[in-house]
């Protein structure tokens, strides 16, 4: 069974708690902390890395692969969707492709489709899964825009559809949850972003959102809770 099949099988059984890792110097140590803390997968946010660290990304992922049993997701977020470093698409594709043997899957933005289409094809050819994502840090997209994103996801052939959007009000959160329940995509995640929506993020996970993100001390998105608090809330110990 290849990494794609294993991860999809896990999604079919339950949701997955993901821990973003953004510090290359402590990556291996943080991976162990995440495992002990109850994480189900690791996300390497390589867009946080310096240019020098990016040059050694493949070797770092190879070492991580030997040190953890958790699925590893590689993210190189575009600057326009929350990435911490401007990385040209040509370089992003090089980094994704050379890293594929040492990760289980990729998180790739839906746009531009010319980029995401190539990455889905190359990842699937090596038995890796692809999360196709959209991030809006200013607003919650309209219902028609959300439906359009879902249509593009289906056309591109990704494995999990993720929408993260700033929610200005409870109405925005409710629209995201309604969208989650109505778009008829089996593996999907919606994330209302904002410091006010911690409980709502956990509620979305409990009600069908496939992924929940918990940090080890450094949030990578507004409103992201700690792994400890997330696991506690999901276990009903709050």
| pLDDT greater than 80 at residue 26 | yes
**Among 41-50, 98-107, 179-188, 214-223, where is mean pLDDT lowest?**
214-223
236 pLDDT higher than 70: no
Whether the predicted pLDDT of 238 surpasses 80: no
Q: Please state the rounded mean pLDDT for residues 40-64.
A: 97
Is domain 3-234 annotated with CATH 3.20.20.70?
yes
State the pLDDT at residue 59. 97
Burial status of residue 74 (CB atoms within 10 A of its CB: 0-12, 13-18, 19 or more): buried
- 218: pLDDT confidence band, cut at 50, 70 and 90? confident
119-141 residue pLDDT tens: 999 999 999 999 999 999 999 99
Q: Examine the pLDDT at 112 and tell me if it is beyond 60.
A: yes
Pair 19, 227: CB distance under 8 Å = yes
- pLDDT at position 237 over 80: no
* E-state strands within 52-204: 72-75, 105-109, 129-136, 160-166, 188-193
């Amino acid at each position: 069974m290849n990494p794609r099949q294993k991860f999809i099988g896990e999604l079919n059984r339950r949701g997955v708690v993901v821990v973003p890792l953004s510090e290359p110097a402590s990556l291996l140590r943080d991976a162990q902390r995440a495992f002990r803390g109850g994480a189900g997968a690791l996300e390497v946010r390589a867009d946080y890395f310096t240019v020098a660290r990016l040059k050694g990304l493949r070797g770092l992922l190879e070492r991580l692969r030997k040190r953890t049993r958790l699925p590893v997701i590689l993210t190189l977020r575009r600057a326009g969707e929350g990435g911490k470093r401007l990385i040209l698409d040509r370089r992003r594709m090089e980094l994704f492709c050379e890293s594929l043997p040492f990760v289980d899957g990729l998180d790739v933005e839906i746009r531009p489709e010319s980029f995401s289409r190539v990455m889905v094809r190359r990842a699937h050819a090596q038995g890796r899964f692809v999360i196709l994502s959209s991030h809006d840090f200013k607003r919650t997209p309209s219902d028609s825009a959300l439906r359009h994103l879902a249509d593009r996801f289906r056309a591109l052939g990704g494995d999990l559809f993720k929408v993260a959007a700033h929610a200005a009000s409870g109405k925005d959160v409710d629209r995201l949850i309604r969208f989650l329940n109505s778009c008829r995509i089996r593996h999907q995640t919606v994330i209302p972003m904002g410091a006010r929506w911690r409980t709502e993020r956990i509620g979305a996970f409990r009600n069908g959102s496939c992924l929940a993100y918990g940090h080890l001390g450094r949030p990578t998105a507004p409103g992201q809770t700690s792994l400890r608090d997330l696991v506690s809330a999901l276990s009903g110990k709050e």
